Amino acid sequence: MAGAYDDRDGKIWMDGKLVEWRDAKVHLLTHALHYASSVFEGERCYNGKIFKGVEHSHRLKRSANLLDFEIPYTIEEIEAAKYEVLKANGWTDAYVRAIAWRGAGEDMGVASKRNPVRFAVAAWEWGNYYGDAKMKGAKLDIAKWRRPDPATIPCEAKAAGLYMICTMSKHAAEAKGCSDAMMFDYRGYVAEATGANIFFVKDGEIHTPKPDCFLNGITRQTVIGMLKEKGLTVHERHIMPEELEGFEQCWLTGTAAEVTPVGQIGDYTFEVGAICRDISESYEKLVRA
């Protein structure tokens, strides 16, 4: 499938039923379009099975609650909708996007209690998020925007509004010939990339930022568990910018990114080393098991 995302053949599940792809529309005065009252999940289906789909659905419900609304479907109904979309489009390997938002209704200001909550599931076939960087290592810029203080945002939610600075940072990175950007947090610690968590290797041990102001990704948690099962030491801690010079390997994790090696961040370079290659291959085997 190719072409603009609003002009494709296929089916999307929307508010309880499958609709034609081009008919999956919302009104101009949808609250989420004006005030970012939207949460979503990105998931991948491998060989007909969505990897950790139920965990994603639970997080989606929690994200909505953090934004002060309730998704009007159970976990079981959300899971059924995902597989209905995959079946309707004939896909066994695809990216799945579940999204919930405050729609158009009686309210059109900051408050929106009287507006209906909408829910939809779309999916599409998607290759490597970073293209050939999956093999040779991604090149990252260092973003000027920082992940905010958790006292200012619901940082545990996967919410649309929290990605505004990510979009700007990724655009700036792409303009410099980079695949993505690494962000610091409000305190100046290393945080994450624009849509993926980050890991480093030094002297055979793993270091990854403590997720106390950004999303603790499901793929991140999975990879940490795998590393520990391999007998590797994993340090979840605050990482200072000057430490980048001493790290030997680096990779990103995320549903879209999967496990993608990083070859460069700003002026710092990293090898696509044995630990990075091994965890990437092990993750591929796990999700396709």
Contact between 281 and 287 under an 8 Å Cβ cutoff? The reply is no
Active site residues: 158
Calpha distance 206→236 (Å, rounded): 8
Q: Which residues contact 242 (CB under 8 A, 6 or more apart)?
A: none
